[in-house]
Amino acid sequence: MLEDFRKHIRLKDNSAILVRPLSSRDEKCLLSFFSQIPDHEKWFLRDETANPEALSSWVTRLNYDKIFPLVAINESDNSIVANIQLHRPEAECLRHIGHIRIMVHPDYRRKSLGPLMMQNLVQIAMNLGVEKLAAELVTEVQEAAIKAATRLDFKEQARLKGYVKGRDGEYHDLIIMVKTLQDDWDDF
Ligand SMILES: CC(C)(COP(=O)(O)OP(=O)(O)OC[C@H]1O[C@@H](n2cnc3c(N)ncnc32)[C@H](O)[C@@H]1OP(=O)(O)O)[C@@H](O)C(=O)NCCC(=O)NCCS
């Protein structure tokens, strides 16, 4: 069962982290987590996480079939320190595709937490029968995510040049990186 997923991990700095699905009881912690993300990063979010009201409404009506969210909890204070989501299209012709969105708290970056969350979601997606995982990433802005995705064997499959506009008026490319899952059974 998806809701039973639990994984205990240790970061490079030795902090103890529990990775588990987000539940509606996490509303306050999740709002607090996103309130600590800098505005210049929120600018590039393209879903309900950018807006506290939409975020509250989403978290109280979670539907794991549509969006399956995992959170990383710092076990010393029970705060949320990372969130990753698997978005699954409802259309039959796209049901084999999953889209990944990830956010790690700025204080917890560069400790391999993002890649660990991604690995867990890849494993869950494979168990759900997802065949391809896609991530839409903004060049120059989300280079850390592009690096982490490349390390997990995501490949650039499309590039929309100058598609995304920053707060400063600068345009950035949107790249779609895709990972094919069925080749990866031996990795786990
Ligand atoms: C992307 C993200 C999840 C990575 O998480 P993380 O836990 O910090 O991942 P890592 O520990 O592997 O560190 C990121 C790597 O990117 C590198 N990096 C950071 N900024 C970079 C940049 N501007 N250009 C290239 N590489 C960069 C880091 O050096 C590190 O590599 P290293 O291990 O060789 O030092 C995190 O940076 C994040 O939440 N970013 C904001 C949200 C986002 O961009 N989401 C993607 C949209 S779906």
Closest residue to atom 4 of ligand 1, CA basis: 114
Q: The pTM is what?
A: 0.94
Residue 187: the pLDDT is: 54
Closest approach atom of ligand 1 to CA 103: 39
Closest residue to atom 40 of ligand 1, CA basis: 103
Integer CA distances (angstroms), 98 to 70, 87, 109, 128, 181, in order: 14, 6, 24, 10, 10
Residue 52: the pLDDT is: 86
91 Cα to the center of ligand 1, angstroms: 32
1 Cα to the center of ligand 1, angstroms: 30
Closest residue to atom 41 of ligand 1, CA basis: 103
Note the pLDDT tens digit of each residue in 75-95: 999 999 999 999 999 999 999
Residue 2: band (very low, low, confident or very high) from pLDDT cuts 50, 70, 90: confident
| Single-letter amino acid code for the residue at 63 | N
Residue 177: the pLDDT is: 98
Residue 188, pLDDT above cutoff 70: no
Q: Is the dihedral angle over the CA atoms 183, 140, 88, 53 positive or is it negative?
A: positive
Residue 94: the pLDDT is: 96
> Is 3.40.630.30 the CATH classification of the domain at 2-187?
yes
Note the pLDDT tens digit of each residue in 11-56: 988 999 999 999 999 999 999 999 999 999 999 987 777 788 998 9
In this prediction, residues 85-106 reach a mean pLDDT of 96
Closest residue to atom 12 of ligand 1, CA basis: 112
Q: What are the φ/ψ torsions at residue 177 (nearest 5 degrees)?
A: -105, 135
Pocket of ligand 1 (CB under 6 A): 41, 101-104, 109-115, 135, 137, 142-145, 147-148
Residue 1: the pLDDT is: 83
